[in-house]
Structures are given as structure tokens and as C-alpha cells.
Copies of this chain bind each other. A is one copy, B any other.
């Protein structure tokens, strides 16, 4: 929580990139998310910043001498790992400079603005890639609503396990199968043990699901054996993206005892291409989840007044579904749920500090998934397992269709944004994936 409001958050400021001033847009001057992109004519992956309908090429801007010295080398790399390693002072210096360069007030029409314009690439011409080479991907389980809803299907009498309110439960996911938004997802095959079947069977998953999550990219991190205290946790978070933790529920329920999810999830995990910095989210910080009376306080290593007061993020997260029939009939994607990240039981800082509390080393570019973001309301449930009560109450879609789980050709679209009176709306962009049939 070290960042404070500054001129980069000023709602009165506009960009000379006209599309950035659209009040409904994701990428205004106040956002400035980073990503990795290439184009048909320049195929080398390089860092960029989204501004309106354009990408600013950070490699070119750096080579032209327009960026702070300390970030220039990092902005020449094919991933954001080097930039992530630099830490908050460098990130903030870059953000401040970009805000100046792209601001209509700070960069008047003239030669400098023309130089910057030369470094812009239309977003529609950019191929967006994974922001980082992820060494380790960890997935948490930080929504108590999700944990309770899922637990209730397995253990109606005691939905929540005894450790939940004490331990920010997490597990290691698969780094190799992280893919960027827009990459199709092949339906996995695997073992399941359907009710009434005389023996387990192997075949295409019949219960393919999505999970709506927020992803945090690790910054400088820590060396092996050295924990990260809660007060320093956010210095080690470069920013956030959307994440779809695709899940094959039939595989999961058969395989997960006693060592947790494995093939039910490691066939693909989709990440959105733009990483929104914590500094961009300063106006939208809010209290951590208010634990109801009777819940234990976090143990001291996970407790701080500052974390409780401002550890949350008021971030609206939406799931939309587009089926082949809807696509054929030009029906727009259907909103199936809308949740808010402030409903999470554990803050990002608590997740990171817990992760490193045993000395586990977190490295620049590592990815922390929040776990499914589900709120207390039924329409704030972040996966079909919860929304349809494991398929028993299928979701009604426009045109008379229904979905218990995902079908081939379905596209799942996540959107995320922060909005608050007096500030400019900041968007996370989209995280999309379409289901391909299982391989034969």
C-alpha cells in the first residue's frame, strides 16, 4: 500500500490519443497497463503500453531516449520479467513518464508528441502475447463464498474446512500451459468415475468449466529462505490481470484426493494480456473483507491495520458466454455473472506473504491466481459448478439454450474494471477462450 494518489490519477487529465478519452474505455491515460506484443511487420516480441486503441512500443520509446534510464534495458526484453524485477520505484518512474508523454496537457502538439506518435501501433494490428515467462504459477482459493459453495456440494453439513479461516489455501499450478487470451482451449481427455459406472472411464471431459480469477504478477520477489513481511508484500506485486482457471470437474472429483487438482486443471490456463499496475488501482483500494463476528483474526504474520483498511481492491469482474448458436444469430455475448474482488477473504498481500512465509522464493514474473472470485450473491458466482450446482440447475441463455457445463465452440469472456466517482474508469481488458473439441 505504498503508492499514493498523484498526478497520474488526476481525472481531469486527458490524452492526445483521442480514443483514450472514451469514458467507457479500458485504457485511459490513468491506466497505462503493460504487456508484450508483436506485429506482422515487426515480429520480435517487445513490451508495450495500452493507451486507448493504440499500443505504445516501449522498446522504441526507450531507444529514442524518451523513457527513464533505469527501465530502458528492461523495455528491450521479449517478456516483462526484467521490468517486473526492477521494483516499485522504477515502475512508478515509468508510469509517471508515460503519463507525461501521453497527456494532452503535459505533451503539447509538437516534435516530441510526433516522436511518440511514431512509437504507436494500432491495437488491432498488435498480436498480444503472454506478459511474462512464468517460472511458477500458484493458484489460491481466496473466496470464502466459492469455498463454501463448492464445499456444500461435497460436505453439506460442514461446507468450510477447519483450516480455511486460518490458512490462505493454495497449490501449485502448471506454468507450461499458461496461454494468452484468445488462444483456443482443447477439451481435455481424462479419467472420471461417473455415478453408476462399473469402473472409471477415459474420455473427453463432460464437465468442462471456467473459473473467474484475478492474477497477480510477482515483482522483485525474495531469495530462498527469506520470507516477505506483510508490510512489504505489495512492493512485490507488479500488477494484475484476468485469469481463467479452466477446470474439468469430472476429472477433478476423481483425481484430487489426496494431493489436489492436477490434470483437471493443467491442460490450459488463460491470462489476459494487459497487466494493470497497483499504482493505477490506488483510487480503487478498499477495506479487506470484513470478517464476521466469530471468525478468528488472522495470525500475526498475516495481520496489519493497513492491510485491513486498504488491502482490498474494488474491482468488478464479469463473465460472459457466447455459444455457436448465439454467434450464428449475431446475438451478443451473454452476461452470466458479475462479482467484485473486494469480496475475497484474503488480500493479495496476504496471499503473497503466506506463500513466502516458509522461505519459498518468489521470482519476477511468477503468477499468483486468486482462486475463483465468487461473491455472496448467486449472480456473483465465478464458475458454472457454483452457478448450476454442478449442472443440476442449467443456466438459461438467450435463444432458449441452456448450459450445465461448457460445450464445444462456446467462448468464455472475462472483463474487469474499476470505477469510482471522481476518478477515471480503469479496465483490465478481456480474457477470452473458445472450446475446441477433444482430439480424436
Interface, chain A (partner B; CB < 8 A): 135-136, 139, 141, 151, 161-163, 166-167, 169-177, 179, 186, 188-191, 193, 199-202, 224-227, 248, 251, 254-263, 266-268, 296, 299-301, 354-355, 357-363, 366, 439
Asked if B226 and A439 sit within 8 Å, CB to CB, the answer is: yes
Given known A172-B171, A186-B359, contact A193–B163 (CB-CB < 8 A): yes
Given known A189-B227, A202-B300, contact A258–B260 (CB-CB < 8 A): yes
Nearest Cβ on chain B to A302's Cβ, whole angstroms: 9
Nearest Cβ on chain B to A50's Cβ, whole angstroms: 26
Complex CA distance for A199 and B362, rounded to whole angstroms: 28
Protomer copies: 2
Given known A202-B301, A263-B360, A358-B267, contact A169–B255 (CB-CB < 8 A): yes
Nearest Cβ on chain B to A349's Cβ, whole angstroms: 17
Q: Which single residue of chain B is at the shortest CB-CB distance from A360?
A: B266
Asked if B174 and A360 sit within 8 Å, CB to CB, the answer is: yes
- Assuming A136-B174, A161-B258, A167-B255, what are 7 further A-B pairs, CB within 8 angstroms? A163-B193, A174-B360, A177-B360, A189-B357, A189-B359, A256-B258, A258-B260
Nearest Cβ on chain B to A242's Cβ, whole angstroms: 20
Q: Which single residue of chain B is at the shortest CB-CB distance from A261?
A: B259
Q: Which single residue of chain B is at the shortest CB-CB distance from A264?
A: B358
Q: List 30 A-B contacts (CB under 8 A).
A: A136-B174, A139-B259, A141-B259, A161-B258, A162-B193, A163-B193, A163-B254, A169-B255, A171-B171, A171-B172, A172-B173, A172-B266, A176-B361, A176-B363, A177-B360, A186-B224, A188-B359, A189-B227, A189-B357, A191-B299, A199-B296, A202-B300, A202-B357, A224-B267, A226-B439, A256-B260, A259-B260, A263-B354, A263-B357, A359-B439
Asked if A359 and B267 sit within 8 Å, CB to CB, the answer is: yes
Asked if A260 and B261 sit within 8 Å, CB to CB, the answer is: yes
